[in-house]
Amino acid sequence: MLEKILDEGTENDDRISFSDPELIAKGQYKSDPDRIVRGFKVFQKKHVYGSTIFMLVLVVLAILSQVLAMRGENSDPTFNVMLIIVCVFVGAWTALRPYNTLKKIKKAVETLGDSIYEAEIYPDRVKISTIYDAPLENGETVDTEALASSEKEGDEAVEGARINTVTGEEEEIPATIIHLDNPAVEVTECEDMYVIYIKKVNNYVIPKSAFTEEENEAVRDKLTELMGVRYTAG
């Protein structure tokens, strides 16, 4: 399913035919740890906190049900107490999970270099390419935008060329193309960035400073027209 929403570009991207090839906005930007973290917080607020609160409510109800069961029975309450303890651990894990995930994101982005990306926004899609992928000390390279892509393991490749400082070989990186007309894609426009969600799991952050004021206006109008309620200004 995700492959239908996200496409990996190729060397022949320019020859791919789309329904409307008109380019609305195009610009380059550097990876910014603070922006990545803030974008992930927006993602959590929109798609994580609600489910977390729901799970905590279920945990509280489960605990209350066991307390009432203990009061209404004269049998050994050991089993009920064990269930209550399990519920407490589940509740604590559920409550701390968003915080722990955000903590891992913050720690990861602190060690990253300044990767450079290029974003192209079309009427029905967004293309994110890598111009320069910053290397780590061990010679490996990391897609900094993909670090904040989800609370699950995995990353998304972006286009460009990078040099592995260990092998000295150039590595090709395919582009990420996000189809905005897919119902599983949502966009939140913040004061200084666009946060794109995919299936309420992955998210990408694009700074508005990468585009001109006129381009941002055009992007806002197109997203409103194309996406409807899936586009929000937060």
Closest CA to 109 of 139, 138, 134, 128: 134
Structural domains in the chain (count): 2
Same domain, 71 and 131: no
**What is the domain-level CATH number for residue 199?**
2.30.29
Amino acid at 180: L
pLDDT digits (tens, 9 = 90+) for 148-157: 454 443 333 3
pLDDT at 135: 57
pLDDT at 199: 78
pTM of the predicted model over 0.75:
no
In a domain, 232, yes or no: no
Full domain range(s) for residue 153: 2-14+22-32+113-227
Asked whether the predicted pLDDT for residue 158 surpasses 80, the reply is no
pLDDT at 74: 67
Pick the last residue of a domain from 73, 89, 108: 108
Pick the last residue of a domain from 88, 108, 128: 108
Same domain, 141 and 222: yes
pLDDT at 57: 96
Asked whether the predicted pLDDT for residue 208 surpasses 60, the reply is yes
Same domain, 139 and 99: no
Closest CA to 108 of 148, 141, 70: 148
Q: What is the mean pLDDT of residues 157-170?
A: 44
Half-sphere exposure of 48 (CA within 13 A, CB side): 22
Q: Mean pLDDT of all residues in the chain?
A: 78
Q: Give me the DSSP letters along 181-209.
A: TSTTEEEEE-SSEEEEEETTTEEEEEEGG
Same domain, 180 and 210: yes
Q: How far apart are the first and last CA of the chain?
A: 28
Same domain, 160 and 202: yes
Asked whether the predicted pLDDT for residue 113 surpasses 80, the reply is no
